[in-house]
Structure 1
Amino acid sequence: MELALWMFPALFVAIFIGVPVAFALLGVSLVFGFIRFGDAAVHQFIAEVQDLASNYVLAAVPLFILMGTLLESTGIAKQLFKAVHMWTRRLPGSLAVSTILLGTVFAAASGVVGATETVIGLLAIPVMLSHNYSKSLISGTVCGGGSLGTAIPPSVVVIVLAPSADVSVGSLFAAILFPGLMMAGLFILYIIVHATLDPRVAPRSLPDEDDDGMSLLGKLRFTLVAFLPPVLLIFSVLGTILLGWATPTEAAACGALGTLLLTATMGQFKLAVFWNAIKRSLLISVMILTILLGGHIFSGIFAASGGVSATREILDAANLSPWSIILLILLIGFIGGFILDLVSVVLIVIPLAIPIVNALGFDTIWFLVLFLIVLQTGYLTPPMAPSIFYLRSISPPEMLLKHMYRGVIPFIGMQLVTLVLVMAFPELALWLPEYIRGP
């Protein structure tokens, strides 16, 4: 048991000296496996490889990533942004509000966090800068809206998380849907209140500015045309899963095919674009699945060496209350969220946490929703926030790191409000899965 507990310090040392996460997980597992089990460890490694390779649900990962990479080239986001802003133009901070709404729709259509932030950032940043929006508000809005891909299904992180926790992907999708939408609503509420109290951060357009003179019927027609493709995509993926018509993998295949057809319909299908999307999807998928393999082997060696039992003994000796233990696990997930990529955090923490959560009598789905919110908060939190790295890659030089750090803080606050609400009222996460399952 004592040997197993040294696996985590060894893993973090390997990561901090620059070893890629996947190889750190595999290397530490290899060393400790041979120390503990000798040659028999090879059989456990082979069993973990076979288990991962035969996991039908994980086939959805490359399909969702392909959806996200193809959606970046369709031009659909530009039409959506214009359609949304037609109806929000008179609100305080209207462009920022439109950006959050665009991020919500795009998150529900693709499930890939980086793709969502990149698309909405490339569209919204130049427009908001031209309207003299605060650079901090721009930064927070793009990072917050882009991060919704973690909390709004179909999220690739959920596809990885659900099998690791031995729960249904469809149930977890249903559980995270309302908290994710509630978080987007809190983002919008903050923007409106902030822009109302301090109009300088989001100057309002003149009455006729950006008005294209469309009639009400024309606006409705334009909005319908702009929203129809993403709504169909969302239904083909999320709707079919929640209604029980398709498994996540089948729904992901439908979504990828639908995105391909949409790309062709909008005149954006070119062999170079398609080939680039395939290559990017392959690279990202291989990275995720290699980390998954390392995480499975690591957790298998850790559990077989008595690591879970040793952890329980430590927690029992510390005499912590059940809620204190839950908060401690969430804190570990939060810290990991701004040091490691989200998939790595899931695979390191969840296999250890779920047996403890079950033993304490907490609902597993409810805990996983909390964990997803915490992961998203870590994704947004400086100094190592991945969302800020994405933003820096697409932002103009006048947007400095200080603007980005200052801008994300209020959005982190809204995420923490969502976390507290779901903690206090578990029904926010549990009512939809229970409703879908029926009596």
Structure 2
Amino acid sequence: MTGDLALIMFPVLIGMIFLGFPVAFSMMLTALGFGLIRFGDILVLQFAQKVDEIATNYVLGAIPLFVFMGAVLERAGIAETLFDAIYMWTRKLPGGLAVAALIMCTIFAAASGVVGATETLVGMLAIPGMLKRKYGNSLIAGTICGGGSLGTIIPPSIPVIVLAPIAMLPVGDLLAGIMLPGLLMAGMFILYILIACTLNPKLAPAEEEPDPRSLPEKLRYTAFALLPPAFLIFTVLGTLFAGLATPTEAAACGSAGVVLLSLFYGKFSPRLIFEAALRTVALTAMILAIVLAGSMFSGVFFASGGMNATKAILDGFGLESWSVVAVILGVTFVMGFAMDLISIVLIMMTVSIPILRSYGVDPLWFSVVFLVTLQTSYLSPPMAPSIFYLRSIAPPEMKLAQMYKGVIPFICCQIVVLTLLFLFPELATWLPKVIYG
């Protein structure tokens, strides 16, 4: 197979996906068909080696552990106590319940790394309260969708665990790289809510009922609700950034910690662990099937000369490095409308990183920018995955048009962060240098 023929793999893959084939099967079948043309029967041995590589990849062992953390947090009832404690301090702020929801999303994104679970969990907690207090439906939708998207860009993040080996980066460096942009994004979301609700109080009517608890009672309740999850986050991120644990070991510590949390709050039960384990097996099987399929697809593409053909096309157009980055991010953004995050990471980054290295682009900086672009696509109409998550838990009075309207200000915040990353690349590279040297 020539390099030019290898380029046909992408149109075939996209066509199969739009015809309704699952992404993992689409990549496997495309790799199988083109691989048999190029390599013949030896392809079976090559695919067997890919299976062995994925099955024995130590870093990917963190995925089921992070999924288990999120599943236990979702089912253990820990969130209700924490949400009440946060709202106790934000209730007098403009849009205080929305601010509490965003803080909650940030904490749970830092505790689990699972995108959809954060949005669903916080949405079920916050939406009834915001509707009861007459919050605007567009503000509710934007808050829950925007907060849920933070799981992509706040560590630990499962897409990062998959992306780092492809980009040939240490997982710790990439997790540290997304920390500042993630916190900046969360801060901008909160700032927008405060400004919008101050300028238009009808978006979020002020809380009229005073909190009957005294300051000592509030402090005790906050410590009870916040310190254990904070310890969990420190167990994962603290041990990782301090160099005391690998990502997989940190995830294992987090899994043990979340079980201890369920015991601390009196929520532990064999049924809880069983349901969390079932959820973990289902999600992990899906993720690793996509990872395996992506490895097969990229292996055939590279071995068939597809990378050299792609580079030759870009050189033929005379594109500069920034133009190449813009093209890749544009394609990534569009793909986010139709595909899940892991699939996009595997398809785009496998091809992009070698090309960008040849243009002298910093892979760490680009990986962070890539993740922010994915997060923006996750939130953007008309095919925003975040809105589909929201529709599954939203009451009938919340209309689709209100959801589209609500996410627009949060998309603007994401674009601001993306612009800052282009203007100040140190936002992505400074913290890894400080931590790891």
TM-score, L = length of structure 1: 0.97
Name the residue aligned to 1:430.
429
Name the residue aligned to 2:249.
250
| 1:375-386 pair list within 5 angstroms | 375-386=374-385
Distance 2:154 2:310 in 1: 32
Partner amino acid, structure 2, of 1:337: G
Moved more, 393-402 or 264-273: 264-273
Moved more, 291-300 or 192-201: 192-201
**Deviations for 1:312-349, whole angstroms, at most 9, x for unmatched residues?**
01101111121111011111111111210000000000
Name the residue aligned to 2:95.
93
Identity %: 57
Distance 1:164 1:411 in 2: 29
Distance 1:308 1:322 in 2: 16
Name the residue aligned to 1:63.
65
> RMSD value over aligned CA atoms?
1.0
Partner amino acid, structure 2, of 1:314: I
Name the residue aligned to 2:36.
34
Partner amino acid, structure 2, of 1:189: L
Distance 1:54 1:151 in 2: 27
**Deviations for 1:213-255, whole angstroms, at most 9, x for unmatched residues?**
2222221221111111111110111111111000011111111
- Determine if contact 2:75/2:276 at 8 Å carries over to the other structure: no
**Deviations for 1:130-154, whole angstroms, at most 9, x for unmatched residues?**
1100001000100111111110000
Distance 1:292 1:356 in 2: 21
| 1:332-347 pair list within 5 angstroms | 332-347=331-346
Distance 2:409 2:181 in 1: 18
Name the residue aligned to 1:272.
271
The one of 80, 83, 92 aligned to 1:81? 83
Deviation at 1:196, TM superposition (A): 1.3
**Deviations for 1:226-285, whole angstroms, at most 9, x for unmatched residues?**
111111110111111111000011111111111112112222222222211111110110
Distance 2:297 2:228 in 1: 42
Partner amino acid, structure 1, of 2:181: P
Distance 2:394 2:269 in 1: 27
Partner amino acid, structure 2, of 1:157: P
Distance 1:144 1:338 in 2: 16
TM-score, L = length of structure 2: 0.98
Deviation at 1:129, TM superposition (A): 0.4
Partner amino acid, structure 1, of 2:132: S
> Which sections of structure 1, spanning at least 5 residues, go unmatched?
none
Distance 1:397 1:284 in 2: 28
What's the secondary structure of 2:93's corresponding residue? coil
Distance 2:354 2:267 in 1: 48
| 1:16-415 pair list within 5 angstroms | 16-206=18-208, 209=209, 211-415=210-414
Distance 1:125 1:98 in 2: 12
Deviation at 1:395, TM superposition (A): 1.1
Name the residue aligned to 1:417.
416
Deviation at 1:212, TM superposition (A): 2.9
What's the secondary structure of 1:72's corresponding residue? helix
- Determine if contact 1:179/1:428 at 8 Å carries over to the other structure: yes
- Determine if contact 1:153/1:177 at 8 Å carries over to the other structure: yes
Deviation at 1:81, TM superposition (A): 1.4
Partner amino acid, structure 2, of 1:360: Y
Name the residue aligned to 2:7.
5
Distance 2:327 2:291 in 1: 24
Distance 1:272 1:224 in 2: 28
Partner amino acid, structure 1, of 2:172: G
Partner amino acid, structure 1, of 2:399: L
> Which sections of structure 2, spanning at least 5 residues, go unmatched?
none
Moved more, 260-269 or 246-255: 260-269
- Determine if contact 2:138/2:405 at 8 Å carries over to the other structure: yes
Deviation at 1:40, TM superposition (A): 2.1
Query: How many residue pairs were aligned?
Result: 435
